Amino acid sequence: MRRIPDDRARQALTSRTLVRARAPLRVSFAGGGTDVPPFPEDEGGLILSATIARYAHATLQPRDDRQISLESLDFGLSVDFGMDEPMLFDGRLDLVKSAIARFLDRENTGFDLYLHSSAPPGSGLGSSSAMIVALVGLLQNHYRMTMTDYEIAHVAHVLEREDLGISGGLQDHYAATFGGFNYLELSGDHVVVNPLRIGPDTISELEHNLLLCYTGRTRLSDHIIDDQTERYLRGDSDAIDGLRMQKRLAQEMKDALLRNRLSDFGDLLGQAWQQKRRMSPRIATPFIDEAYQLAMDRGALGGKVTGAGGGGYMLFYCPFNRRHLVAEALMKLGMTVSEISFDLNGLRTWRVDA
């Protein structure tokens, strides 16, 4: 159980400055999979994505002792340990521990850390990566370190993909850090983030016509990603062609957005889904196929799963006079349907007097 501080300690804690951070989740329009090694080393990757107004949140409250307390509000899970104890990676908030291990200043005092995300892991919105970005930003602010956006995204990527060995690509950490509409160019582990100047009318029209739909099922993306990678390595023609077409469609969708050709964008979104399906048979499920066909029958121009596949969220672009019909049909299927708003700011950290 968490130690309850005495009145004197509690008074000292409440007088301390809190540090907060939030990092946005993202929707990937095209190019997903081309950021997963070894494809970017071999052929280079291209990703088109945008961040949305759903966030991974983190708050740090300094303590006067040498204890660290972690609490995930989503999982109802808390972990306590001393700063002078070996850090135990036992499957309980290991992602958080990995960030703390990288930044911890043992000459300083401990802290309480509170975490919350707008979407669960496995949702296809990059929530785990957004959380690690929020943690890196939070700890960087707490210890008053200076880091560029590229450095924050890179460290977050290393923590999740290398230190913890969680399969996946590079795009999510850069999307959550930079925010907005981005066109990512990848060569090996080198990433160039190209922010896109999408006009406000285009953004408003996207928000008006897009639907974000939760299947009610999360997935273990590492199994899907591992299968996709294995197929690429053994020369599976469908997987390879699907990845190469993702790059081409990312370019075409970028041009459609910049030129405000949103009907073309909606159609290309559907093409990106058909090419994504070729990368692994685990990406689509009977339920996803049923939902996709139902949306198309009701008038959607195109849509796709927003992450690795197997579950999570789906994104549909609909003509304004058909969107309500698509939403109604998907809700009858048991899906949770919501509108979408875009975040243009990326990672934010700030301080507030407790």
Residues marked as catalytic: 172
In order of 72, 282, 283, the CA distances from 220 in angstroms are 20, 11, 11
Beta-ladder partners of 59: 20, 114
Q: Strand 111-117 to strand 67-72: parallel, antiparallel, or no bridges (unpaired)?
A: parallel
Number of CB atoms found within 10 A of residue 255's CB: 13
Q: List Cβ neighbours of 296 (8 Å cut-off, separation of 6 or more).
A: 270, 302, 303
- DSSP letter at 159 equals I
SS3 content of the chain, % helix, strand, coil (to 5): 40, 25, 35
- What would you report as the CA-atom Rg of the chain, rounded to the nearest whole angstrom? 21
DSSP three-state, residue 314:
strand
d(CA 243, CA 228): 10
